Chain A
Amino acid sequence: MGKTIVEKILAAHTKDVVVAGNIIWLDIDVRSARDFGGPNVVKNYEENYNHTPVADPEKSFFTFDLVAPAKTIKYAINQSICRSFAKKHSIKVYDVNAGIGSHVLMEEGYIIPGSTAVGTDSHYNIVGAIGGFGQGMGDVDITFVFKTGKTWFEVPPTVRINIKGKYKFPVTAKDLTLYILKIIKTEFGLGKAIEFYGDAVESLPLYGRITLLSMVTEMGGIIGYIPFTDETIEEAKKFTGVGGFPIYYTDRDAKYERELTIDISGIKPQVAAPPYPHNVFDVDELRDVKVDLIYIGSCTNGRREDIEEVAKILRGRKVKEGVVLSIAPATKRVYRELLLEGVINDLFEAGAIIMNPSCAGCAEGHIGLTGEGEVSLNTSNRNYPGKQGKGKTFLVSPAVAAASAITGRITNPEEVL
């Protein structure tokens, strides 16, 4: 019987039989810990493997992206604990200036198509966007992988989603993602590998694939894939700086556990309202919601193209008085590109705060936190109750975020274009 994409990648990294439901021992090419989870990994390591070397320092990393730079002494101590451990074991640290770890390790050519990567980041399945296998794991798993270079894994069944129809700007990959979430919620994808087919997804450039496939986490999925096109292969080469990597496609005779077709014809920009990422509405249904804070960035929508879309809408305009707009590029590379292109200047003139590259408004970051009664629009991926304070967090595309920054309420970009 034929194999699916995830089965092929896993099979290239194990001696065990790769069949959905089987437990395999999986070789891990890249492992990383962040400033969340990282100090716990160090503690676990020292308690269990004290003074013995890690399996492979060149495949192990620390990436400080959540509280970057440290905003309290407790986080400063935690980061210094990781730095000391890294020095002792000759492990590279991408420090508080580098940006979001998963993005950085792809940009630096460590995580490449066909490779396996794990980290203390639940959106590590973002690696599916370049045709690799990535998985967020807890600190016990990551400690174990630091020491052994492998871990156990249950081969996920693969399900297939066919996307029918087309969309055009101001509808974007984020709206497509939120619309899929609205339809499938968390049951269809829970514990599965999800493959997406159809022109609307297969024509997505890499940054759009990153948006959709990062939010497979919110669908409950293990990992998601969109088959590579010639264009995405070239983009992945440019993105990672590496050529000659394996590209896997699902065999014609492979079996999917379930299959679903979603028609996206005529969809509007979408907004996820609290309390769940799958609580999704057409933007026009929420147009009376007043906005206090806006955060643009995150692993889901922090690429150069995402922020350029924002600049296109904001250029020559002003953020409405009383609205705080904060933008954090995903990585140092993205920040630099935006700086050289003059995009950061335009956003500054419009009234935005430009943050250093990081996870910024996710977790208990420096921005995007709300007080009672406040509303924040985020281009990130989660809006669970209380996550970012007592206010309400809505998830939107960069274009909706930008349009709403001008008007001070949730706005369809068509209104301001």
Chain B
Amino acid sequence: MKIKGKVILLVNKEGKLIENIDTDQIFHNSHLHITDINEMGKYALGNLKGYENYYGRARENDIIITGHNFGAGSSRQQAVDCFKALRVGIIIAPSFGAIYKRNAINSAFPILECPGIEKCIESRLLNEDDIVTIDFGEGAVKKDKEKIIQCRKPSRVQLDILKAGGLFNYGKSMTSSV
């Protein structure tokens, strides 16, 4: 699977990727009563300083690049589903919060762990608004057909659940062995 889109960097004033963005910054607890995924998009990053209006400028297949431990904190699935609602293409970070990572995999929302990507931002190999292509199965980030960085390849279970369209369909296809 290939994802082509525009780079959105979640950076601080110094231009560094913001680390430890927690789920309350991604999808604030005051919206946790929402169960309809179509209503979730407008609150994506709504409590992250400087990104409160991301909803208004989100484009299909956006490639969000962010810092270490993205999605720390609560177990809320809405912090993944709000990006699905906006048809964001993928989120790439050096690492993710453990629960967030599971939730993204189970929702068939692409994420890649990419230690070292912060250096690509610092050296300006990757910039805001760049158009890049992600070869998801390979874990590769490419710009102008040139590989910029090799991320960790997604695990077999991540690929299988993504292919099935989520944990529920994956489970149904595995009924005999589960």
Using a CB–CB cutoff of 8 Å, the interface residues on chain A facing chain B are 23, 25, 36-37, 39-40, 43-44, 48, 66, 72, 74-75, 78, 120-122, 124, 135-141, 143-144, 147-148, 150-152, 154, 156, 186-187, 190-191, 217-218, 220-222, 276, 363-364, 382, 384-387
Contact = CB atoms under 8 A, between A and B. Distances in A.
A138 B80 contact: yes
A122 B103 CA distance: 12
B28 interface: yes
Interface in B31-79: 32-33, 35, 47, 49, 68-69, 72-78
Interface stretch (B2-10, B18-26, B117-125, B138-146): B18-26
A190 B73 contact: no
Nearest to B95: A190
Contacts of B167: 140-141, 144, 151
Contacts of B80: 138
8 contacts: A75-B33, A138-B76, A138-B102, A140-B77, A144-B167, A144-B171, A187-B68, A387-B22
Given A40-B78, A154-B155, A364-B32, 7 more contacts: A48-B168, A66-B32, A74-B33, A138-B77, A144-B171, A150-B178, A387-B22
A386 B166 contact: no
B69 A40 contact: no
A276 B49 contact: no
B104 to A, nearest CB: 9
A221 B19 CA distance: 16
Contact of B29 (A143, A218, A222, A387): A387
Nearest to A147: B171
B157 A137 contact: no
A190 B70 CA distance: 11
Given A186-B69, A384-B25, A222 B77 contact: no
Given A222-B98, A363-B29, A386-B24, A140 B106 contact: yes
Contacts of A222: 98
Contact of B72 (A39, A138, A220): A220
Given A140-B167, A148-B178, A387-B24, A364 B69 contact: no
A300 to B, nearest CB: 14
B25 to A, nearest CB: 6
B99 to A, nearest CB: 5
Interface in B150-178: 155-157, 166-168, 171, 177-178
Contact of A385 (B29, B30, B49): B49
B127 interface: no
A396 B156 CA distance: 42
A384 B24 contact: yes
B156 A138 contact: no
A138 B76 CA distance: 5
Centre residue among A72, A124, A139 by max chain B CB count within 10 A: A139
Interface string B71-96: 01111111010000000000000010
A220 B69 contact: yes
A150 B175 CA distance: 12
A386 B107 CA distance: 26
A19 to B, nearest CB: 14
Contact of A144 (B24, B78, B168): B168
Given A137-B99, A387-B29, A143 B168 contact: yes
Contacts of A218: 72
A72 B95 CA distance: 36
Nearest to B168: A48
Contact of B33 (A78, A186, A217): A78
A75 B166 CA distance: 27
Contact of A39 (B35, B101, B177): B35
Contact of B74 (A122, A141, A144, A386): A122
Nearest to B113: A191
A80 to B, nearest CB: 12
Given A150-B178, A154-B155, A121 B75 contact: yes
B111 to A, nearest CB: 13
A36 B22 CA distance: 17
B110 interface: no
A152 B157 contact: yes
A386 B25 contact: yes
A37 B29 contact: no
A44 B103 CA distance: 14
Contact of B99 (A75, A138, A386): A138
A76 to B, nearest CB: 10
Contacts of B33: 39, 72, 74-75, 78
Contacts of B157: 23, 152, 154
B106 A36 contact: no
A382 B22 CA distance: 10
Contacts of B78: 40
B106 A138 contact: yes
Contacts of A217: 73
Given A120-B75, A121-B75, A222-B98, A148 B171 contact: yes
Contact of B106 (A141, A147, A385): A141
A25 B178 contact: yes
Contacts of A141: 102-103, 106, 167
Q: Which 3 A-B pairs have the closest CB atoms?
A: A138-B77, A138-B103, A136-B75
A220 B97 contact: yes
B177 to A, nearest CB: 8
